[in-house]
Amino acid sequence: MRTTTMALALAATLLSSAAGAQQWRTIESARQLTSTDALRVTLNFTGGKFDLKPLPGNLLYQMQLRYDEQAADAMHEYDAATHQLRLGLRDANMGFRALKTMKHDDGGSMTVGLNPSVPVNLELNLGGAEAEAELGGMSITSLKIHMGLAGGKVSFSEPNQVVMEQLSLDVGLGGAAFENLGNANVSQININGGMDGIALEFGERVMHDVRINADVAFGGLKIQVPESAGVSIQASTKMASFKPDGFDKVDGAWVTPNWKQASTHVTIAVNASLGSFKVNHGAP
């Protein structure tokens, strides 16, 4: 169903130049919540501080964006017919210049709130942003995260309200840390990259059977799974040995003693090169 509610532009302020040819502009944008139909949301940001969190209330989203308009173009686009929302900086302008001019703490920033009652297929393209995302209590059906140089942290302090079919993480030079990932209610996790390391901390419980496929190099991968979940590992490692504590070798895989009895399971398939791979079966 096509909605006719117009986007609410709360403010648009042109700020004085921070240095040289930079022209900093701050935009605030929001839209009223008129439907809880599933939505595809794409958030693009290049460099600076990025923050994402749930937004309870009667707004679909709320965004504040500070950027150098000499280096990038802002966007806040909602298409009711295709159920798509695109916020942040346009793809074509997410190049080196934007990263260089907006990478400082006093430079670019993007703060976004999304209504947790709306099921979202969420994609985050974060370039060199220093990112922090609190996704607990939201309704995320699929999550794709592309991180560049700075890396970030993703938390699920409360359970995801729907099953997340897939979480895909593509990390460049920066690292990534996930907290309380067991609350994500996710079925499959795909990981690629991570030269500064990737940490998956599931917390105290795992809501849903999950398979982790990981291809990592240099930085390594650390996974923490609570004792209540059964764990099976198939690992291919280069330039490093792998023998997890408390696991048994069964038919070519490392498994925890509670594999058959556990109500939820974490299956891990890892290809690790020139980096460490560690699994902790116990408390965080």
pTM here is 0.87
Give mean pLDDT in consecutive 10-residue pieces for the chain, a chain of 284 residues. 32 35 88 96 91 97 92 91 94 48 64 98 89 97 86 94 96 86 98 82 96 85 95 82 84 94 96 83 87
- Identify the pLDDT of residue 54: 98
- Identify the pLDDT of residue 161: 97
Give the domain ranges of the chain. 1-134, 160-284
Are residues 167 and 176 in contact, defined by beta-carbon separation less than 8 angstroms?
no
- Identify the pLDDT of residue 114: 98
